[in-house]
Copies of this chain bind each other. A is one copy, B any other.
Amino acid sequence: MNVVLNPPLANTPIEGVRHATLASAAQGLKGLSVWSQVLEPGAGTPLHRHDCDEAVLCLSGRGEVVLPGSKVFFGANQTLCFPRNVMHQIVNTGDEPMRLIAAFSQSPVGVYLLDGAALDLPWPS
């Protein structure tokens, strides 16, 4: 068992997105990864999918999740559930930072863009 002091959020190559990995294979987990992220107003992820399940808890802020052909608005106290391989993009369309906790059913987490290319994550996943 590992007890980890959550690392500080660090800037990422995605403008306006800060990240910290809270739990992953580095802590002995084989099928679970948990991240903390903060998206500044206007910031967003690329459109992407994972080859595992994902749940995103919105702790504060509001925004939209872009799916192929549709958009869904969400905000604090809501949870987004993405089954394996569902394409999605998360954008902070509000005027305050959006704080998210994301959990994944594998570690490391595979990320794939719309063209099928694997994204090399800049953080431990």
Point out residues on A near B: beta carbons under 8 Å. 1-6, 22-23, 27-32, 34, 52-55, 57, 65, 67, 72, 74, 77-84, 86, 88, 101, 103-106
Contact = CB atoms under 8 A, between A and B. Distances in A.
Looking at chain A's contact residues, the main secondary structure is strand
A44 B82 CA distance: 31
Contact of A52 (B31, B78, B82): B31
B1 A57 contact: no
Counting every copy of the chain, the complex holds 2
The 5 closest A-B pairs by CB, nearest first: A31-B105, A23-B55, A27-B81, A103-B103, A32-B53
Contacts of A28: 81, 83
A66 B52 CA distance: 31
A11 to B, nearest CB: 19
Nearest to A72: B3
A103 B81 CA distance: 13
Given A29-B53, A53-B29, A103-B103, A34 B79 contact: yes
